[in-house]
Chains A and B, each alone.
Chain A
Amino acid sequence: MTETPLVHIENLNVEFPLGRKLLGKPPVLKAVNGVSMDIMPGQFYGLVGESGSGKTTLGRAILKAVPISSGKILFDDGKVSYDLGTISQPDLKNYRKLAQLIFQDPYAALSPRMTVRDIIAEPLEVMEITKSREETDERVREIASKCRLNLEHLRRFPHAFSGGQRQRISIARTLVCNPDFVVADESVAALDVSIQADILNLLKSLQSQLGLTFMFISHDLSVVTHICDHVAVMYLGTLVESAPTRKLFSNPRHPYTKALLSSIPSLDPDDSKKAQKLEGEIPSPVNPPSGCKFHTRCIFAEDRCQREVPEWRELSQNHAVACHFAEKLASAS
């Protein structure tokens, strides 16, 4: 491939120290542990995992909202290229315009005391993108209509809107400064199903209209498979599998991916897939299991999994997995 990735992540670690100890080092929580990934321009990149898997922390690290402990994050949109580890203050200011975040809860994300117009305009004013009030208004109206908000809505306050409308306001605010890259963190999780589909369609159409690249973080595998081109699965801070959506879904090679897929409740009452239920719960990230972190819940685990950390390796183009027995798993199914 000749294309350069928009976001290139190499062996990224994000650690949070937990309190202080009188003697010796304080315990560390490894929220993100040795993650490498490439997000291509124009991609809808999905990141799935259970709560505590580090997916939000990874998203925030890319936005430089949490400090990076070690590893590299490179951002290159063809015009500018930044190394987020060593980025300077003025460059970081510019980066904030290029990389943005959509939050999960549209009820908490919007200030109840600001009008919708002011909420959407705030990023433009704070980052001094527009010069005059007229220009700001122009930009606000433009993005609002793209997010299917009426001009009449702009004068009102957030409390007058339903969850779906609020999420559209929140998306407009994110996109008003023309970013290249957007992290959508559980952006439809708080919405009802009938509205969820609407927001997903809106994100998809905005992506093609505005040429955006998305990182879509979610715990809902069926939503992710529907909207994303590429999906990465996280477990306890590490990536376990990453592949184009179709490939991942039709041919999962990590036992955790398989288990996740079979845990989604099926709409068919007769389909009571007893196939693969995971035992136990996700272990504490402060004290993760040795070797392969998934071995405590894995039905295929052998002695080797307790000792050796499985290597992150590419099975076929764009399909990478971290499991000693990925080949065996394919033949087992």
Chain B
Amino acid sequence: MSLLSVENLYLQFDTDEGRITAVDDVSFELNAGEVLGLVGESGSGKSVTAKSLMQLNPSNSVYGSGSKINLELENNVMDVLSLKKAQELVIVRGGAISMIFQEPMASFAPAITIGNQMVEQLLIHTSLSKKEAAELSVEMLERVGINEPGKRFFQYAFELSGGMRQRAMIAMALSTKPKILIADEPTTALDVTIQAQVLELMKDLVEEFGMAILFITHDLGVIAQVADRVAVMYLGRIVESGPVREVLHAPAHPYTKGLLNALPKLDALDEPLTPVPGDIPSPLERPNGCVFHTRCPEAIADRCNVSIPKRVDVGHAHAASCFAIENVSEAA
């Protein structure tokens, strides 16, 4: 049994303009010591999926009745979606699962020192005394490569640079020793040279702490560098998933292929960029059938726009949902 298993997650938002489907039948598993990359463009539902793991979505969200999020904690399996009270959720939020966000400036309270924020959450989630919590916090700051951690402990978020803030955020998220770390675009707001440092740090920490990371990003290059497995999302559905090498070297779904072709590549400067045709549909005008058929170059008339393709295995632990692949495998 894996550390976390998400089964048929279905999530809608009730809005003034009607019900919007954000996550549609998403299933995946996460094992200890593994980095799962979740890639997709804006609006693909990757952040919403991650937030569901801690029930952090706004109050207008409606989960489907068949949705299950099972979290294994010391031989006892807990369905996160069945938790109702804030006290019960504390075990999950910040306890078993920690999250780091894209914009570290927005995640730290501006008027409380870094140290006090780190200590506060340790007091909630662990039985440490205030003094021990402070010691652990300084130790964690040092561990993530912040120099003069003793001094930074007493500083405010605005006094740190962007890269340092993100490191402090990581230190804070890891200090409670979570089983799962959700990293939502943790390097998107950083410069490339700093991004490289932070990615390196996260890889080291997975090895050291043996936790699992759900790494959300829109950048396939970042995925290639950190993830073991990857799931590609489009309009709330996982269209392809598999080991990172296989998915990037032999993409099966037309959307994954399109994404890879649209990326500027440094070793092929003469080749023109091929954009994925069309625009991402508005969530209010969700296409029927396969969600990608409106932009798909391989779409089959009267089939892709009518029914939803099933997941087809295309390799070892590598699957994609597409009729074009089904046809090929049937013919073979």
Interface of A toward B, CB cutoff 8 Å = 50-51, 162-165, 192-198, 200-201, 219, 221-223, 225-227, 245-246, 249, 259-261, 263-270, 272, 277-279, 281-282
Question: For residue B42, which residue of chain A has the nearest CB?
Answer: A192
Distance between Cα atoms of A266 and B195 in the complex (Å): 13
Question: For residue B225, which residue of chain A has the nearest CB?
Answer: A265
- Would you call B191 and A50 a contact (CB within 8 A)? yes
Distance between Cα atoms of A193 and B188 in the complex (Å): 13
Distance between Cα atoms of A222 and B196 in the complex (Å): 15
- Would you call A197 and B274 a contact (CB within 8 A)? yes
Q: Mark B189-204, 1 if CB is under 8 A from A, else 0.
A: 0011111110110000
Q: Judge whether B260 is part of the interface by a CB distance below 8 angstroms.
A: yes
* Interchain CB contact (< 8 A) of B266 among A222, A272, A281: A222
With A201-B272, A268-B248 known as contacts, the answer to whether A219 contacts B191 (CB < 8 A) is yes
- Would you call B221 and A277 a contact (CB within 8 A)? no
With A193-B259, A194-B262, A268-B248 known as contacts, the answer to whether A263 contacts B195 (CB < 8 A) is yes
With both chains docked as a complex, state the minimum distance between the C-beta of A235 and any C-beta of chain B, in angstroms: 10
Residues of chain B contacted by A278 (CB below 8 angstroms): 193, 196-197
B: interface residue count bin: 35 or more
Distance between Cα atoms of A227 and B266 in the complex (Å): 11
- Would you call A225 and B224 a contact (CB within 8 A)? no
- Would you call A265 and B224 a contact (CB within 8 A)? yes
With A197-B274, A198-B275 known as contacts, the answer to whether A264 contacts B192 (CB < 8 A) is yes
Question: For residue B228, which residue of chain A has the nearest CB?
Answer: A269
Residues of chain B contacted by A246 (CB below 8 angstroms): 269
* Interchain CB contact (< 8 A) of B260 among A222, A267, A282: A267
With A50-B192, A163-B42, A268-B248 known as contacts, the answer to whether A226 contacts B269 (CB < 8 A) is yes
Distance between Cα atoms of A210 and B221 in the complex (Å): 34
Question: For residue B221, which residue of chain A has the nearest CB?
Answer: A265
Using a Cβ cutoff of 8 Å, how many contacts connect chains A and B? 123
With A225-B264, A265-B225 known as contacts, the answer to whether A249 contacts B269 (CB < 8 A) is yes
Q: Mark B206-232, 1 if CB is under 8 A from A, else 0.
A: 000000000000111110110100000
Residues of chain B contacted by A195 (CB below 8 angstroms): 41, 275-276, 279-280
- Would you call A263 and B192 a contact (CB within 8 A)? yes
* Interchain CB contact (< 8 A) of B264 among A194, A219, A223: A223
With A164-B279, A201-B272 known as contacts, the answer to whether A193 contacts B262 (CB < 8 A) is yes
- Would you call B191 and A277 a contact (CB within 8 A)? no
Residues of chain B contacted by A268 (CB below 8 angstroms): 224, 248
- Would you call B218 and A193 a contact (CB within 8 A)? yes
With both chains docked as a complex, state the minimum distance between the C-beta of B174 and any C-beta of chain A, in angstroms: 21
- Point out which of B192, B194, B260, B261 has the most chain A C-beta atoms below 10 A from its C-beta: B192
Question: For residue A268, which residue of chain B has the nearest CB?
Answer: B224
With both chains docked as a complex, state the minimum distance between the C-beta of A117 and any C-beta of chain B, in angstroms: 20
Residues of chain A contacted by B163 (CB below 8 angstroms): 281
Q: Judge whether B273 is part of the interface by a CB distance below 8 angstroms.
A: yes
Residues of chain B contacted by A259 (CB below 8 angstroms): 193
Interface of B toward A, CB cutoff 8 Å = 41-42, 161-164, 191-197, 199-200, 218-222, 224-225, 227, 244-245, 248, 258-266, 269, 272-276, 279-280, 282
- Would you call A226 and B279 a contact (CB within 8 A)? no
- Would you call B245 and A269 a contact (CB within 8 A)? yes
Residues of chain A contacted by B272 (CB below 8 angstroms): 201
- Would you call B193 and A263 a contact (CB within 8 A)? yes
With A260-B192, A260-B193, A277-B200 known as contacts, the answer to whether A197 contacts B222 (CB < 8 A) is no
Question: For residue A283, which residue of chain B has the nearest CB?
Answer: B161
- Would you call A221 and B269 a contact (CB within 8 A)? no
* Interchain CB contact (< 8 A) of B262 among A197, A221, A277, A281: A197
* Interchain CB contact (< 8 A) of A266 among B191, B225, B264, B282: B225
Residues of chain B contacted by A165 (CB below 8 angstroms): 279
Question: For residue B248, which residue of chain A has the nearest CB?
Answer: A267
With both chains docked as a complex, state the minimum distance between the C-beta of B38 and any C-beta of chain A, in angstroms: 15
With A164-B279, A225-B269, A249-B269 known as contacts, the answer to whether A265 contacts B195 (CB < 8 A) is yes
- Would you call A201 and B275 a contact (CB within 8 A)? yes
Known: A226-B264, A269-B245. 12 other contacts (CB 8 A): A164-B279, A194-B41, A194-B259, A194-B262, A194-B280, A200-B273, A201-B275, A225-B269, A265-B196, A272-B225, A277-B196, A281-B164
- Would you call A267 and B263 a contact (CB within 8 A)? yes
With both chains docked as a complex, state the minimum distance between the C-beta of B294 and any C-beta of chain A, in angstroms: 12
Residues of chain A contacted by B220 (CB below 8 angstroms): 193, 267
Residues of chain B contacted by A277 (CB below 8 angstroms): 193, 196-197, 200
Q: Which 7 A-B pairs have the closest CB atoms?
A: A265-B221, A194-B276, A198-B275, A197-B275, A192-B41, A226-B264, A197-B273
Distance between Cα atoms of A163 and B42 in the complex (Å): 10
Distance between Cα atoms of A268 and B41 in the complex (Å): 20
Question: For residue A277, which residue of chain B has the nearest CB?
Answer: B196
8 A-B contact pairs sorted by A residue (CB < 8 Å): A194-B262, A194-B275, A197-B276, A201-B273, A222-B266, A249-B269, A265-B195, A267-B224
